[in-house]
Chain A
Amino acid sequence: MEGLISLYSTWDWKNNYSWSLHNSTVIVIHVVFSIIQSVIFPIKAPCAAFSIFSDLAPGHNRPTGLMLWITSQREGTCTLSPVGIVLQSLQGTNLIEASSPLETFPYCHLQRSVMSANAVSCTIKSPVALQIGDAVSDSSRPGVYITDITLAEPVNIQEISFKNYYTAYLTVRLQRREDGSAKWVTCLRNYCLMSNPHAEDGSHDYFSIYRHQMLTEPDNVTTVRLILRQPSSEWLNFSIEEINIHPCAKEDSERDVPAWISTLTPVEEPLDLNGLPDPETVSSSIQQMWALTEIMQASQTAASIGRFDVEGSYDVKLLSYT
């Protein structure tokens, strides 16, 4: 999923800017400076506050605008707001803390791009608890649940996404249809969802399990079995919610990204500029000429010239023969 937030303002590029993300969906931000250059700025942890430093800007051009191109695995909304602007001198000492001169763009809607395909329809059976002894009479809470998901037709799985609810460890087994016979394989063993089963960390997080994380190739899958374990006795219940299985994307899907964004990263191999005029000065002149033409075009009005007419009809004395 991709979305575009544009922030336009002029500022002094000695500032460091901090933002916080109010959604756990964003994972990559491309920082596109207003003219020409772009920098890919991966966000490691969601809901992070991050800073953009002036040495990120390649070259010595001073950007006058900032555009954040946000990609994520999940559709939704993403809010960016400047938390605080800190002016720092180039030596790193704080000069002043000032409020942001930038406008805060309230949110950007992450559009689903065709690359991450729709989830397949599947039937999720209710979880079955594994217990020693009689389930009815025994009062201890189960520590293992098993959930089966049946798929309507064999699928090559790209991703399994879900929302956690206090599950500590996850094992995933797949039933594959191979040459007529159905075989069960383990593709994920004791994947840790909560680093400390007694604590809250990771208890409500969203997870995605990708193809490359699986032990075997999840192709031609008919059933998925999720084995949930929670060894801690703290929690009354644990489960997994909002399970979605995403198949592999088709080859002919087209991207929504505009073509020119892919040309923003400069060419790696050095061009032979021997004898050619300096591209910086040439480009700067062209940019100014382009800007002047844009100014002229923006000032065009739809007004039309007025003929000398009196109350809608021509005054005979004023008609001239040209």
Chain B
Amino acid sequence: MNSDDPLLKILEDLLKLDDIYACMIARRNMVSVMPDTNLFNQKIMDVWDIVSVAMKNVFGIIEEYTSVGLDVMEFRLKNHSVLFFVIPETDNALVAIIPSLANKGLIEVEMENARREIVEILNREEEELVKA
């Protein structure tokens, strides 16, 4: 771990939490930033295929409603919950797979922190581009 990529580092930090089985930054049809899948909890393997397909549908909704303030989406699948924290003003979301019985509130706090850090990085990169 210990990536040079700041976005990847945020995800790797999230993955260190016991109840975050997998996480990534994704948009429809594309996972933009994903840690090494060997770091994922293998318990998600039985739902991974279904989650991948379901994500496409969820992102369809995110694309449509993000401009009017869609913030968080979630669905439950078997023993897992999939959380989508929409990155504001984008069609991207921070996605995490957690056990459905996890203390979701505590996890949401760290998802929110990760989202804020991602936005900060994107804003910083934009400012650097403008200066250049």
- Is B one of A's binding partners? no
Residues of B whose CB lies within 8 Å of any CB of A are none
Residues of A whose CB lies within 8 Å of any CB of B are none
